[in-house]
């Protein structure tokens, strides 16, 4: 349990766990859905998602005016 008055530190690994711990880990998620699952702010989730998109396969797509979904692509061997 974190110390009283200290915010919990969320890592990029925590965000990846949200994707990979689901039955369909390739299903796109919003930053809000990730924030809800981690019990953190949307801004924290969004910051981690942006960092992951620069370092890993996590990718995103705008789906509306200001809406964006995020996912880990599934690579299929042909």
Interval 1-14: pLDDT, tens: 445 444 678 999 99
**6 Cα distance to chain centroid:** 22
CATH of 12-71, one of 1.10.10.10, 3.90.420.10, 3.20.20.70, 3.40.1710.10: 1.10.10.10
Residues 22 and 19: their CA atoms lie apart, in Å, by 6
Q: Residue 66 — pLDDT band, cuts 50, 70, 90?
A: confident
**In the chain, domain spans:** 12-71
Interval 16-64: pLDDT, tens: 999 999 998 778 999 999 999 999 999 999 999 999 999 999 999 999 8
Does the pTM surpass 0.75? The reply is: yes
Q: Do 31 and 63 touch, CB atoms closer than 8 A? A: no
């Amino acid at each position: 349990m974190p110390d009283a008055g200290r915010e919990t530190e969320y890592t990029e690994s925590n965000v990846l766990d949200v994707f990979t711990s689901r039955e369909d880990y390739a299903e796109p998620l919003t930053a809000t859905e990730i924030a809800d699952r981690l019990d953190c702010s949307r801004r924290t989730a969004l910051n981690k998602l942006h960092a992951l998109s620069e370092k890993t396969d996590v990718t995103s797509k705008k789906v509306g005016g200001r809406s964006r979904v995020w996912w880990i692509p599934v690579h299929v061997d042909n």
